[in-house]
């Protein structure tokens, strides 16, 4: 028998808490139940026809590699697109962009460009857990600044500043946030960028949900780090087509940075994996034609879903925060252990043949013991289904606490 063993990197890689209950949900379906999936950020919004049409139109005779940093005309059009859309005031150059395989690869490359093994990155917990996955691959520690349900999970720059140590190499923050929906105001982005500049720390700002912001005080888009001159040297913006166009399978993302050293490092990583997908870039290029009215409609739909879910959760007596953006809601439930409760909802509970799958939030915290009674719900399903989910949750909580 072979005595080969996996690396610690391989054997100890964290599993995603977002997908953890998937097999129990599949078993529930096998038993004939209807399962509503609120655990995963897979929108049901129809992908714009112009994107699907671009896939159908593709007919090159040789399916060739693309340049490692993406097609030049795509980067040019993307740079122009930033300027033509509401929300971004300062110009973006095609040379500031490297196209990647989704925002996920952009995050991995950005982290790899600015950290060495043993370094630390700062996150605000609860946080998008894949940051922990990338940090693990790179041998980097994750250091958390806790945000709290009773404060609507607001991010406080002073707490971030206080948490920076000599080992901190980068702060990684999504805005709008996953799993909390928190949006970072322009003032706070500026303040965090200034803190980073003063402390020689990079700021990786994950803006893949930028379109989905529901409070008028922020304007039509969530504020972007690209508009903060203080971040020109140390800022890396992560972007993606996945959520923006409900095109998660296209696997096109990119980094934007005005720091050419970072860009060159990311490009070298890009050369090692050769190329982002060719056909998906054509589709992503077509996506740039999606009109502003499409975003307005989709945003209105998500806002309505948010409102239905928040109102429903409050109706059944839960202290639901009002997420300002993205399409997630993190909430504390009146249970001791949300993980056990969520599992039980899939193995032993149904309301008239229906149940639901949520993501227990403990796995989104770095600090052991936090988030035990919290869950994340993705409001990516239709409003009537969300209303039914509230009824299902109410009945499940009543049965569980009986």
Tokens 């993606």, residue located:
240
Question: Would you give the binding string for ligand PLP spanning residues 176-195, x where CB under 6 A is met?
Answer: --x-----------------
Q: Looking at beta carbons only, is 33 or 375 nearer to ligand PLP? A: 375
Out of 87, 235, 253, 323, name the contact with ligand PLP by CB under 6 A. Answer: 253
| Token digits of residue 227 | 């508009």
Neighbours of 185 (CB within 10 A): 16
Q: Does 120 bind ligand PLP (CB under 6 A)?
A: no
Q: What are the C-alpha distances in Å from 69 to residues 15, 100, 119, 401? A: 29, 7, 27, 54
CB neighbour class for 63 (10 Å; exposed up to 12, middle 13-18, buried from 19):
exposed
Find the shortest distance in angstroms from Cβ 344 to ligand PLP: 26
User: Order of strands across the sheet with 374-378?
Assistant: 328-332, 374-378, 359-360
| Token digits of residue 353 | 């043949």
Reply yes or no: is the peptide bond before residue 234 cis, omega within 30 of 0: no
Of 102-110, 227-235, 295-303, 335-343, the window that binds ligand PLP (rule: CB under 6 A) is 102-110
Out of 206, 211, 339, 374, name the contact with ligand PLP by CB under 6 A. Answer: 206
Out of 43, 67, 87, 103, name the contact with ligand PLP by CB under 6 A. Answer: 103
Kindly state the number of chain residues that form the binding site for ligand PLP, as judged by CB under 6 A. Answer: 13
Q: Does 248 bind ligand PLP (CB under 6 A)?
A: yes
Residue 347: name the closest of 338, 357, 336, 360 by CA. Answer: 357
Of 101-109, 223-231, 271-279, 347-355, the window that binds ligand PLP (rule: CB under 6 A) is 101-109
Q: Looking at beta carbons only, is 242 or 355 nearer to ligand PLP? A: 242
Out of 43, 67, 149, 174, name the contact with ligand PLP by CB under 6 A. Answer: 174
Find the shortest distance in angstroms from Cβ 239 to ligand PLP: 8
Q: Does 115 bind ligand PLP (CB under 6 A)?
A: no
Neighbours of 80 (CB within 10 A): 14
As a whole number of angstroms, the distance between CA 215 and CA 194 comes to 25
Q: What are the C-alpha distances in Å from 366 to residues 227, 314, 328? A: 30, 28, 19
Closest residue to ligand PLP, Cβ-based?
Answer: 102
Find the shortest distance in angstroms from Cβ 104 to ligand PLP: 3
Q: Does 242 bind ligand PLP (CB under 6 A)?
A: yes
Q: What are the C-alpha distances in Å from 48 to residues 51, 76, 152, 303? A: 6, 22, 33, 19
Q: Which residues pair with 274 in a beta bridge?
A: none
Find the shortest distance in angstroms from Cβ 108 to ligand PLP: 10
Q: What's the sign of the alpha-carbon dihedral 74, 286, 128, 92?
A: positive
As a whole number of angstroms, the distance between CA 103 and CA 206 comes to 8
Q: Where are the beta strands (DSSP E) in 78-206?
A: 97-100, 120-125, 141-146, 168-174, 202-206
Q: Does 218 bind ligand PLP (CB under 6 A)?
A: no
Residue 339: name the closest of 362, 320, 322, 323 by CA. Answer: 362
Find the shortest distance in angstroms from Cβ 298 to ligand PLP: 16
Q: Does 70 bind ligand PLP (CB under 6 A)?
A: no
Of 99-107, 109-117, 330-338, 374-382, the window that binds ligand PLP (rule: CB under 6 A) is 99-107
Find the shortest distance in angstroms from Cβ 242 to ligand PLP: 3
Q: Does 240 bind ligand PLP (CB under 6 A)?
A: yes
Out of 184, 208, 226, 237, name the contact with ligand PLP by CB under 6 A. Answer: 208
Find the shortest distance in angstroms from Cβ 240 to ligand PLP: 3
Structural contact between residues 241 and 99, judged by C-beta atoms closer than 8 angstroms: no
Q: Looking at beta carbons only, is 126 or 174 nearer to ligand PLP? A: 174
Find the shortest distance in angstroms from Cβ 184 to ligand PLP: 13
Of 79-87, 96-104, 162-170, 255-263, the window that binds ligand PLP (rule: CB under 6 A) is 96-104
Cβ-based neighbours of 1, under 8 Å, separated by 6 or more = none
Q: Looking at beta carbons only, is 242 or 246 nearer to ligand PLP? A: 242
Which residues would be at the binding site for ligand PLP (CB under 6 A)? 41, 102-104, 128, 174, 178, 206, 208, 240, 242, 248, 253
């Amino acid at each position: 028998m072979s005595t080969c063993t996996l690396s610690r990197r391989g054997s100890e890689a964290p599993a995603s808490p977002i997908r953890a209950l998937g097999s129990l949900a599949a078993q529930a379906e096998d038993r004939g139940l209807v399962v509503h999936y609120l655990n995963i950020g897979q929108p049901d919004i129809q992908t714009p026809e112009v994107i699907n049409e671009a896939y159908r139109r593709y007919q090159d005779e040789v399916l060739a590699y693309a340049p490692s940093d993406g097609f030049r005309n795509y980067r040019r059009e993307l740079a122009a697109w930033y300027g033509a859309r509401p929300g971004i005031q300062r110009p973006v150059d095609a040379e500031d962009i490297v196209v990647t395989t989704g925002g996920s690869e952009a995050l991995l490359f950005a982290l790899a460009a600015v950290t060495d093994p043993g370094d630390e990155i700062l996150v605000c917990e609860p946080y998008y857990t894949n940051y922990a996955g990338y940090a693990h691959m790179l041998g980097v520690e994750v250091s958390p600044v806790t945000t709290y349900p009773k404060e609507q999970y607001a991010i406080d720059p002073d707490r971030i500043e206080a948490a920076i140590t000599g080992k901190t190499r980068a702060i990684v923050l999504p805005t709008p946030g996953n799993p909390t929906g928190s949006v970072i105001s322009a003032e706070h982005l500026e303040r965090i960028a200034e803190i980073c500049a003063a402390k020689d720390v990079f700021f990786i700002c994950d803006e893949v949900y930028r379109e989905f912001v529901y409070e008028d005080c922020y304007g039509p888009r969530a504020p972007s780090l690209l508009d903060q001159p203080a971040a020109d040297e140390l800022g890396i913006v992560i972007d993606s087509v996945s959520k923006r166009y409900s095109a998660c399978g296209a696997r096109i993302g990119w980094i934007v940075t005005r720091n050419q050293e970072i860009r060159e490092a990311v490009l070298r990583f890009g050369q090692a994996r050769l190329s982002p997908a060719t056909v998906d870039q054509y589709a992503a290029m077509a996506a740039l034609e999606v009109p502003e009215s499409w975003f307005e409609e989709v945003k209105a739909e998500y806002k309505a879903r948010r409102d239905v879910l928040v109102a429903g959760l409050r109706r059944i007596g839960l202290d639901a925060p009002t997420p300002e953006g993205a399409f997630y809601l993190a909430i504390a439930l009146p249970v001791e252990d949300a993980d056990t409760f969520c599992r039980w909802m899939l193995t032993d509970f149904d309301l008239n043949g229906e149940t639901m799958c949520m993501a227990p939030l403990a796995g989104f915290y770095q600090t052991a013991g936090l988030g035990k009674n919290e869950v994340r719900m993705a409001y990516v399903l239709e409003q009537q289904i969300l209303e039914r989910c509230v009824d299902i949750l109410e009945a499940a909580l009543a049965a569980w606490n009986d």
